[in-house]
Amino acid sequence: MTLDGTDAYTGLAGLPPLVRRALDAARSRSFPYSCRPEQGRLLQLLAGGVGGPGGRIGETGTGMGVGLAWLASGARDGVRLVSVEREPERARAAAGVFHDRPETAVVHGEWQDIAAYGPFDLLVLDGGGQGKVPGDPAADVERLLVPGGTVVVDDFTPSGRWPPRFGGDVDRARLHWLEHPALRAVEVRLAPDLCAVVGTRRL
Ligand SMILES: C[S@@+](CC[C@H](N)C(=O)[O-])C[C@H]1O[C@@H](n2cnc3c(N)ncnc32)[C@H](O)[C@@H]1O
C-alpha cells in the first residue's frame, strides 16, 4: 500500500483534470493511499493500449479514484472501466468523482466482485487479489483476463537480487506474479523506491 501516494502529487503540474478531481476528493477526506504519480502514468499509458469500443478495464481497490482517473484519462472512446471498493463511504465518494463519466463505474463490494464485469483487457490489482496478504488469494488471471490481456500489480519495493526480497524474506507475492505460468511478466521500475509487476496472459 502506498502510504504517501496522495501527498506525492503536491506541487505537480500538468495532471489530467480527472486526476485532479480525484485528488481533491482524496485530500478533502484525508485519504493518503492514492497511487503515486509514477504508477498513475503507467496506468494511463497501459489504458491507451486497450482497444475500443468493447475494451474492458478493471481495478480492485478504488480508494478515492486516483488510479481509476489515470486509467480513464488514458482510455480510448468506447472502453468500459469498473473498479471495486469495499469501504462504502469511499465507494460513494469515488463514484462522485466520475459522475459525468458514464463509461466509468465504481462498485461497492469485495474485490472478487470484479469477476462479474470481466474478462478484462487490463486489470489493476490495488486492493485485494494481489496475493500479498495472508488469507487473501491472488486473483485468477486465467479467468479474469482475455488472452493477451494485461495485469498490473503495484507497490513493490525494488530488490536488486534474485529471488526478490522484502523485509528480509523472499517476496512470495512478487514471485507468484513473475513466475506465473499463464503470464509473461516483468518488473517495471517506476522510481528508486517503487516498482510494479506487469504481465500479459499468454495466448
Ligand atoms: C491502495 S488503496 C487504492 C488506491 C487507488 N487504487 C488509487 O490508485 O488511488 C486500496 C483500497 O483498496 C480497498 N480494499 C482493500 N481490500 C479490499 C477488498 N478485499 N475488496 C475491495 N476493496 C478493498 C481499500 O479500502 C482501499 O480503499
> Which atom in ligand 1 lies closest to the alpha carbon of residue 67?
8
Centroid of ligand 1 to alpha carbon of 16 (angstroms): 22
- What residues line ligand 1, using a CB cutoff of 6 Å? 1-2, 33-35, 60-63, 66-67, 84-87, 90, 110-111, 126-128
Tell me the mean pLDDT in the region 36-64: 97
Measured in degrees and rounded to the nearest 5, phi and psi for residue 88 equal: -60, -40
Q: How confident is the model at residue 10 (pLDDT cuts 50, 70, 90)?
A: very high
User: Of all protein residues, whose CA lies closest to atom 8 belonging to ligand 1?
Assistant: 67
Cis peptide upstream of residue 134 (ω within 30 degrees of 0): no
pLDDT mean over 167-177: 92
Q: What is residue 96's three-state secondary structure?
A: helix
Place of cell 485468477: 140
60 CA from centroid of ligand 1 (Å): 6
Q: Whose CA is nearest to atom 26 of ligand 1?
A: 63
Spacing, Cα 121 to ligand 1 middle (Å): 20
2 pLDDT band, cuts 50/70/90, is low
Cis check for the bond before 147: say yes or no (omega within 30 of 0).
Answer: no
**Average pLDDT, stretch 17-23?**
98
Separation of alpha carbons 157 and 18, rounded Å: 28
Domain positions in the chain are 7-201
Pairing of β 145-156 and β 194-201? antiparallel
H or E element, residue 21:
helix 17-28
Mutate to test the pocket of ligand 1, among 24, 30, 73, 111 (most ligand atoms within 8 A of CB): 111
Question: What CATH superfamily classification does 7-201 receive?
Answer: Vaccinia Virus protein VP39 (3.40.50.150)
Q: What is the mean pLDDT of residues 18-34?
A: 98
Q: Tell me the pLDDT of the chain averaged across its residues.
A: 96
Residue 3: pLDDT over 80: no
Q: Tell me the Cα Rg of the chain.
A: 16
Enter the DSSP assignment of 109: S
Within 8 A by CB and 6+ apart from 154, the residues are 2, 35, 39, 42, 124, 126, 190, 194, 196, 197
Place of cell 513493490: 156
The answer, yes or no, to whether residue 52 has pLDDT greater than 90, is: no
pLDDT above 80 for 23 = yes
| Share of residues in the chain with pLDDT > 90 (%) | 92
Q: How far is the CA of 64 from the centre of ligand 1 (A)?
A: 9
Considering only CA atoms, which residue is closest to atom 13 of ligand 1?
61
Which pairing describes strands 169-170 and 165-166: parallel, antiparallel, or unpaired?
A: antiparallel
Dump pLDDT digits (tens) for 86-136. 999 999 999 999 999 999 999 999 999 999 999 999 999 999 999 998 888
Q: What is the dihedral of CA 131, 133, 134, 139, to 10 degrees?
A: -20
Instruction: Give the pLDDT of residue 84.
Output: 98
